[in-house]
Structure 1
Amino acid sequence: MTAPLLSLTWTDHITGRQGFLVIDRLVRGVASGGLRMRRGCTPDEVAGLARGMTVKEALHYDPEARYVPLGGAKGGIDCDPRDPAAYGLLVRYLRAMRPYIEAFWTTGEDLGLTQDLVDRAAAEVGLVSSIQAVYPLLDDEAAARLRLADAFAVEVDGIGLGELVGGCGVAESALAALDRAGVPRAGTRVAVQGMGTMGGATARFLTRAGLTVVAVADVKGTIANPAGLDIDALLAARDAYGTVDRAALRPGDRELPGEAWLSVDAEVLVPAAVSYAVDTANQDRITARWIVEAANMPVVPEAEALLTARGVTVLPDVVVNSGTNAWWWWTLFGDIGADADEAFAYTRRSMRALTDLVLARAAADGSTPRAAAHAVAEDRLPLLAERFGSYR
């Protein structure tokens, strides 16, 4: 693996806390990757996420599409987003990173931050937008910006399209794997860690596809019901951080410890919260057949090796959760419009095709899905460099 193009550490002069930016690769002079805020965020974590963004972008390369993938990047701030000082820290970080955001880093919400909060802080430091570096690549900037704004204004059952489309992609990846294995949807049980944007939307789409979500976990613990949870009721009872109000639980719902989601009787596990959730110390509690990485880097490599050895398939984050990022660009560049049905249909087609491609490559190579995804990306990166030039 090559070193990133740029890696820097920023120290806040008021709190002494640190923030990081890693540009893994530029394509057409621009890199894409969100900004996360969590206590304990590290430079190595951000570098791994940036490399993952390079892979995600390359996996979605379609020479016939208007959207042409960008490079990969990531930002991170070492702070609990619930800390009263968090917003001021975010503003100062964006002010320090303003030259990079203006020139070549397009960013947005990630773990611990919402897009509304990023937009508010970006405006406060004088940025036109958190994705303004991509504007020079657009054929019609005004129309593209209006289309994306209209898309973010779309709601489905009271939930924003921007919050739902990523979960739609995660669910379709899981469904593609189940369908490929000949597993019926009815009777297939799912446990989801995290009820925020990604986890909540994934649970919603899997339930609507006929699967049974038997457990969800948030910061308060795990909620379980072997007969199935009322996902719509739990989604309606969430706060801004994805924590479910326990008053919404039904008589058959049980409250269990936080890590109980790992060992519940389920065929599919969806870690959709923090990185490094599955490690060598807890992986042996998992009895599921599939792990679907809705979060970024939730399974550490050593744990994945142990899981693979005992027949558990890990569908990697670089495939599974790439739909969120791609939806932004499909919309901005004009491959789809500001319409929920069109967005969901395009996301489903794209994510199913990508998942099928990666699983077929893994079967042909005798490798894991993660290795296959990286192999596909490595095949495509030279094509991007040949077409648009190399910045490395």
Structure 2
Amino acid sequence: MSFLEIVWTDEVTGKRGYLILDRLVRGAASGGLRMREGCTLDEVRDLARGMTLKEAVVYSPGDTYVPFGGGKGGIDCSPYDPEARGVMRRYLAAMKPLLETYWSTGEDFGVRQDVLDEVAAEVGLRSTIEAALRLLPDPEAALALVKAGFAVEVDGVGLADQVGGYGVAEAALAAAERLGLLGAGARAMVQGFGSMGGATARYLARAGVPVVGVCDAQGVVHNPDGLDVERLLLSRDAYGCADRAALRPTDVRLPREEWLTVEAEILVPAAMSYVITESNVVGVRARLVVEAANVPTTPAAEAALAARGVTVVPDFVANVATNAWWWWTLFGDIEPTAQASFAKISTVLRGLVAEMLDRAGSAGVTPRTAALAMSAERAEAVAARFG
């Protein structure tokens, strides 16, 4: 049972919104706000549970940051809808009492942080992380650290848009090395090219793993010899679509639904939830699936992959860096610089993946089962320490 579940109806458009607070720790929950047509209460409930796992799994007694509980917001509206901004503003106004006390939020699928910050200011919020700020002795100084981190750019892209995907890439590289894929010329396919997918592609390519395909809302771009990821990254629009004018003559365009047909050893679903299902899992050709998106693989599909010997690095491990980076910066565990951010993320993600795969191997269970045990143990440690 969740701590709190809210279904909201916009009085202007009739569109629905949802807020789930799965668990509170120290009176607070953390988790982003997504906006997409077709978003459901069950989806947001799954995402909120995932946030509880994600918060707990990175707990380290040596950090000032202590994990929160998990929460999530969702709005059933396309971000391309002309009414989308107004719907978001009215949703935030309705949720304002909870944003001021319990729920710290940020961008998620279909929501950009800069737009979210603007709309939050319009409804009278200093920030979307008030619930976290109230736990700090000097909220203004802490908020200044986060703003400083957001002001950093890394080769033309904001640091905040890089940290999550950098963590996914580090998780993928750590798992691929364990599986012996790196020495065998592993290639990657990334489904989704927004902040998470784009950064994952960038840092896999920089690590020497050719990214042979990316998929965005316009379709798939494929090159068996590897795409020019940097060129595509810097051509993206606000919703993560690469400008097709930036393609090279050897790049091939494929329909969006053919993203599973691209030959690659590493598959990174980095966009919507529930995209690998029982009906299409037979098309997965990779030996390693790294979940950059939240709940992209259904339980039945993951069971089928496990039966075929495909390793799945679960979302609440692989994509934890976006959430954790906010709090490591806010609580002063790292300086708001690219160097400090990437060093912390690499150490934590590679450590989590190593522990997860060690446990899975020794116990004869899936990586998800091992990671769930890790999260539960850390949650118990937090509860024992803070109640």
Give the shorter-chain TM-score range: over 0.9
Cα 1:106–1:174, aligned 2, differ >3 Å: closer, same or farther? same
- 1:173 is displaced (CA, Å) by 0.3
Give the CA deviation at 1:214: 0.4
Letter in 2 for 1:255: R
Amino acid of the residue matched to residue 240 of structure 2?
G
Q: Quote the residue 1:134 is aligned against.
A: 132
Counterpart of 1:347, as a letter, is I
Q: Return structure 1 stretches of 4+ with deviation > 6 angstroms.
A: none
The C-alpha deviation readout for 1:265-287, integer Å capped at 9, x for no partner, is 11000000111111111110111
Q: For the residues of structure 2 that align with 1:60 and 1:137, how far apart are their CA atoms?
A: 19
Match of 2:71 in 1: 73
Q: Is the 8 A contact 2:181 2:265 kept in 1?
A: no
Q: What SS class does the counterpart of residue 288 from structure 1 fall into? A: coil
Q: Deviations over 1:194-239 (max 9, x none)?
A: 1100000000000000100000111111110101100001111111
Distance (Å, rounded) in 2 between the aligned partners of 1:196 and 1:74 = 19
Matched residue SS, 2:168: helix
3-state DSSP of counterpart to 1:103: coil
Who is 1:17 aligned against? 15
Deviation at 1:8, TM superposition (A): 1.0
Output the CA distance in 2 between the equivalents of 1:246 and 1:134: 41
Runs (5+) with no aligned partner, structure 1: none
Instruction: Say which SS state the counterpart of residue 72 (structure 2) adopts.
Output: strand
Please tell me whether the aligned partners of residues 185 and 211 of structure 1 are also in contact (alpha carbons under 8 angstroms).
Answer: no
Q: Distance in 1 between matches of 2:139 and 2:128?
A: 15
Aligned match of 1:368: 366
- Aligned residue pair count: 387
**2:336 aligns to what?**
338
Percent identity between matched residues is 57
**For structure 2, which runs of at least 5 residues remain unmatched after alignment?**
none
C-alpha deviation, 1:186, in angstroms: 6.9
Tell me by how many angstroms 1:140 deviates: 2.6
- In structure 2, the partner of 1:387 is 385
Secondary structure of 2:162 counterpart: helix
Correspondence for 2:168: 170
Residue matched to 1:96:
94
Q: CA offset at residue 360 of structure 1? A: 1.2
Among 185, 191, 194, the residue aligned to 2:192 = 194
Q: Distance in 2 between matches of 1:203 and 1:112?
A: 19
The aligned runs of 1:1-392 (5 Å cut-off) are 3-184=1-182, 187-389=185-387
2-structure distance, mates of 1:111, 1:281: 24
TM-score calculated relative to the size of structure 2: 0.98
Amino acid at match of 2:301: A
Alpha-carbon distance in structure 2 between the residues aligned to 1:150 and 1:381:
30
Moved more, 190-199 or 380-389: 380-389
User: Which amino acid is 2:80 matched to?
Assistant: R
Is the CA contact (8 Å cut-off) linking 1:186 and 1:212 kept in structure 2?
no
Which stretch has the larger CA shift, 379-388 or 239-248? 379-388
Shift of 1:139: 3.3
More off after superposition, 72-81 vs 369-378: 369-378
Contact 2:167 2:321 in 1 (8 A): yes
CA distance, structure 2, for counterparts of residue 186 and residue 345 of structure 1: 27
For residue 173 of structure 2, give the secondary structure of its aligned residue in structure 1. Answer: helix
> Does the CA contact (< 8 Å) of 2:35 and 2:75 recur in 1?
yes
Tell me if structure 2 keeps the 8 A contact 1:154–1:160: yes
Task: Letter of the 2:314 partner, please give it.
Answer: P
Amino acid at match of 2:18: F
Give 1:365 deviation, angstroms: 2.0
How many Å separate the matches in 2 of 1:173 and 1:224? 23
Q: Is the 8 Å Cα contact of residues 190 and 214 (structure 2) preserved in structure 1?
A: yes
Q: CA deviation at 1:185?
A: 5.2
Q: In the alignment, is the contact (CA less than 8 A) between 2:53 and 2:70 conserved in 1?
A: yes
Distance in structure 1 (CA, Å) of the matches to 2:327 and 2:195: 19
Q: Is the 8 A contact 1:186 1:210 kept in 2?
A: no
Give the TM-score, by structure 1 length: 0.97
When residues 162 and 186 of structure 1 are mapped into structure 2, their CA distance, relative to the original with a 3 A threshold, is farther
Instruction: Name the CA distance, whole Å, in 2 between partners of 1:260 and 1:213.
Output: 16
Mapped contact 2:18–2:73 kept (Cα < 8 A): yes
Determine helix, strand or coil for the equivalent of 2:289: strand
Q: Distance in 2 between matches of 1:142 and 1:127?
A: 14
Give the alignment's Cα RMSD to 1 decimal: 1.0
Secondary structure of the 2:253 match is: strand
**What SS does structure 2 have at the residue aligned with 1:255?**
strand
Contact 2:156 2:234 in 1 (8 A): no
